[in-house]
Amino acid sequence: MRGKQAPKRNIAPDVKYGRSDIHKFINQVMRDGKKTLAQSIVYDAFDIIAEVSKKDPVKVFDEAIKKVAPQVEVRTRRVGGAHYQIPFPVRGERQQTLAYRWIISAAKSRKGKPMSAKLADELMQASSGEGAAFRKKEDVHKMAESNKAFAHFAKFG
C-alpha cells in the first residue's frame, strides 16, 4: 500500500431508528447524492416489511444481514505464473459491506415493482435464508470450499 491508510470515519445514526448500520445501508442505496430519496426507499421498505410480515423490520434487517454476510471469500493470487483462487476469511466490516451490496444488487435486478417493494422482498427472503443475495453468499462459499486445496498459498501476516 502506498501512503497512509484513510482514517475511519464515524457514521452518525439514522434519523428514524437511531442506528448507524441502517445509515450505512441508506448510504449504499443512495445514488448521485440523493440521500432523501434513498432514505425514503429504505424506510418505505421497512414499512412494507412491518405490514407484510408483522415482524419488527429492524430485526428482519439484522437477520438478513447476518444470513447474507459471507465468512470466506476467494481472492486471486499469482503464484509461479499460475493464477489461483485462494480462500480468505472475511473481516467483519467487509462482511457487512458485501451483504449490503449483494442485497441491493439483488433487489435492483428484480423487475416490475418500485425499489422499496423490491428491497423489502429481498430483505424478507434473505432473513428466511432464500433469495438471490443468499444464493450469492452460498456460491461464494462453494467457490471457497472447492479451492480449499490452495489455502496454503494464503499469507496471513
Please give the angle made by the CA atoms of 81, 90 and 66, to the nearest 5 degrees: 145
The pLDDT score that the predictor gives to residue 38 is 96
The pLDDT score that the predictor gives to residue 156 is 57
Residue 77 lies in a domain: no
pTM confidence score: 0.90
Residue 41 lies in a domain: yes
Residue 50 lies in a domain: yes
Q: Are 75 and 94 in contact (CB under 8 A)?
A: no
Structural domain boundaries, residue 106? 20-71+91-137
The pLDDT score that the predictor gives to residue 148 is 85
Cell numbers for 107: 433487489
The pLDDT score that the predictor gives to residue 2 is 84
Residue 26 lies in a domain: yes
The pLDDT score that the predictor gives to residue 149 is 86
Could you say which residues of the chain have pLDDT below 70?
Answer: 1, 156-157
Cα 56 from Cα 67, distance rounded (Å): 17
| Strand runs labelled E in 5-148 | 72-79, 82-89
The pLDDT score that the predictor gives to residue 61 is 96
Q: Are 123 and 43 in contact (CB under 8 A)?
A: no
Residue 110 lies in a domain: yes
Cα 83 from Cα 120, distance rounded (Å): 39
Number of domains in the chain: 1
Can you give the CATH number for the domain in which 103 is found? 1.10.455.10
Residue 60 lies in a domain: yes
Question: What count of residues does the chain have?
Answer: 157
Residue 35 lies in a domain: yes
Cell numbers for 34: 440523493
Cα 16 from Cα 38, distance rounded (Å): 13
Residue 32 lies in a domain: yes
The pLDDT score that the predictor gives to residue 80 is 87
